[in-house]
Amino acid sequence: MRTILFILGLLVLLLVGAMLLGLVNIDMVRPGAVQAPKFEADVGRVDLGTENRTVQVPTVDIQRADNATAQ
């Protein structure tokens, strides 16, 4: 139960953050009188891509002390 509440709270925080950053804009188009109100959401768009690159990665050499014993 706590996990579900945590995930729900996290989603609410993400939605509020997206609204503050302008990624999500929710406008009420029809007021809520007898019928249910109508909302339109204008959401941002993110394009993702990949590319292959060759990068140099440092190497790590580990040297044990002379008095270290292997386990």
Q: Is the dihedral of CA 45, 50, 55, 57 positive or negative?
A: positive
pTM of the full predicted structure?
Answer: 0.39
Q: Which residues 6+ apart lie within 8 Å of 43 measured at CB?
A: 23, 24, 25
Summarize pLDDT for 4-60 with one digit per residue, the tens. 999 999 999 988 888 888 888 877 766 656 677 778 888 888 888 999 999 999 998
Distance from CA of residue 50 to its chain's centroid?
18
Interior/surface letters 29-52, b for 16+ CB within 10 angstroms, e for the rest: eeeeeeeeeeeeeeeeeeeeeeee
